[in-house]
Amino acid sequence: MNKNIKNFIELDIRVGKIVSAEEFPEIIKPSYILNIDFGEEIGIKKTSAQITNYSIESLINKKCIGIINLGDKQIGSIMSQCLVLGSTDINGDVLLLNPDKDASLGDKVS
């Protein structure tokens, strides 16, 4: 199997829902601290994301896509446990990838 395909297959990409968001002022680039619920089996994971083009209020209960098996990484004062996925538009804003409305928390993205 091609090494690049194998690396991609090993990523554990899941559907989550942002349950809390707060400003992360100690980071150089404007960011939020997010707590994302990936369902009963996985639970809530914390991360930071440069998605300040969204209001905090608009992020609460928003479904998203995240990678949950990259390992923990210290980012400022928090330990990031996942990576939320998005695209970058022409203005440099990050736009969160959204699962279908019928997707359940914890569903595996394939």
Superfamily of the domain at 13-96: Nucleic acid-binding proteins (2.40.50.140)
Domain boundaries, the chain: 13-96
- How far from the centroid of its chain's Cα atoms is residue 40's Cα? 17
Residue 78, token pair as written in the block:
């928090």
Can you tell me the distance from the alpha carbon of 90 to that of 71, in angstroms, rounded to the nearest whole number?
Answer: 30
- Residue entry with tokens 């899941």: 14
**pLDDT tens track for 71-91:** 999 999 999 999 999 999 999
Does the pLDDT value for residue 1 go beyond 80?
no
Can you tell me the distance from the alpha carbon of 99 to that of 109, in angstroms, rounded to the nearest whole number?
Answer: 9
Mean pLDDT value of segment 21-35: 95
Residue 26, token pair as written in the block:
């100690």
